[in-house]
């Protein structure tokens, strides 16, 4: 168990909060029991689809069928933006493509956007989106599975206005507490034009086929921080995040430290984000 209390460099686990917040994590005795339901953010709509065929004549399938359908995400309801389709296109190897759609109701593609995902993309043998989430400021969050030649998962942001991808994290891990199918990211609205992104890094093996992550990361996207502010790096000794909610400008977290099998420890924390929202 010694390695579970150390980071990769051999030093103690360290939790860090962005200095811009002017705040610290505060231990709480309870997680908020009930909060008013927030209005759905107007960041656009990201819809997962199963599709058949090839561009430009794609058709929506009734259900996903391995080897027959392809995975895609339709992006619409964005003022001033052409509807898009992010398509895991299967032609031998699977590769993610970005297509503009001819109209808001069909899947007829009209133009492919060819901006590279990454400067090293030419050395990748395959790459596909694991998920697509809408963010404020007309951006998309894209966890990506790729091989170079070793397989790994990275995290990217696609700027719809500039039509460019940028890397947010070189390597991320699935959340083992979320079960199956693997879940790599979550997004929490933090206001009408702000969102928190959660992802996970630094896996450690507890037992055969049992893994946890040393760190959970929170990144804030807002008009003040359109490129993303690394808000919180939460070490496993303070728990992996299982629940989170905003109450005004205060973020509440419920976490579980799962390192002792059969004896998980639950924590509750709060963090005031008034200075960065």
Model pLDDT for residues 147-177, shown as the tens digit of each residue: 988 999 999 999 999 999 999 999 999 999 8
pLDDT given at position 40: 77
pLDDT given at position 11: 58
Please identify every stretch of the chain with a pLDDT value under 50, giving residue numbers as ranges: 1-10
Q: What's the distance, CA 220 to chain centroid?
A: 12
pLDDT for 81-98, tens place per residue? Answer: 899 999 999 988 999 999
Contacts for 126-129: CB closer than 8 Å, 24+ residues apart: 126/93, 126/94, 126/95, 127/94, 127/95, 127/96, 128/71, 128/88, 128/94, 128/95, 128/96, 129/71, 129/73, 129/86, 129/88, 129/96
pLDDT given at position 2: 35
Domain ranges of the chain: 1-39+192-277, 42-187
């Amino acid at each position: 168990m010694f390695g579970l209390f150390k980071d990769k460099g051999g030093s103690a686990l360290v939790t860090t909060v962005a200095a811009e917040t002017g705040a610290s994590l505060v231990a709480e005795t309870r997680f908020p029991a009930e909060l008013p339901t927030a209005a759905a953010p107007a960041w656009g709509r990201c819809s997962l689809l199963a599709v058949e065929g090839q561009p430009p004549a794609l058709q929506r399938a009734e259900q996903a069928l391995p080897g027959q359908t392809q995975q895609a995400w339709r992006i619409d309801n964005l003022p001033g933006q052409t509807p898009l389709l992010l398509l895991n296109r299967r032609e031998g190897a699977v590769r993610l493509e970005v297509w503009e759609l001819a109209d808001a109701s069909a899947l007829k593609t009209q133009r492919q956007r060819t901006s590279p995902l990454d400067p090293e993309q030419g050395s990748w043998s395959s790459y596909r989106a694991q998920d697509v989430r809408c963010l404020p400021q007309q951006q998309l969050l894209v966890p990506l599975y790729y091989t170079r030649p070793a397989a790994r998962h990275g995290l990217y942001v696609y700027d719809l206005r500039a039509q460019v991808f940028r890397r947010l994290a070189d390597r991320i891990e699935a959340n083992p507490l979320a079960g199956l199918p693997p879940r790599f990211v979550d997004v929490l609205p933090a206001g009408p034009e702000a969102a928190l992104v959660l992802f996970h890094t630094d896996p450690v093996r507890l037992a055969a086929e049992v893994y946890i992550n040393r760190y959970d990361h929170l990144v804030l996207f807002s008009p003040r921080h359109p490129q993303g502010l690394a808000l919180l790096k939460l070490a496993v000794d303070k728990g992996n995040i299982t629940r989170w909610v905003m109450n005004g400008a205060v973020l509440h977290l419920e976490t579980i430290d799962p390192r002792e099998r059969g004896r998980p420890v639950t924590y509750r924390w709060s963090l005031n984000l008034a200075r960065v929202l």
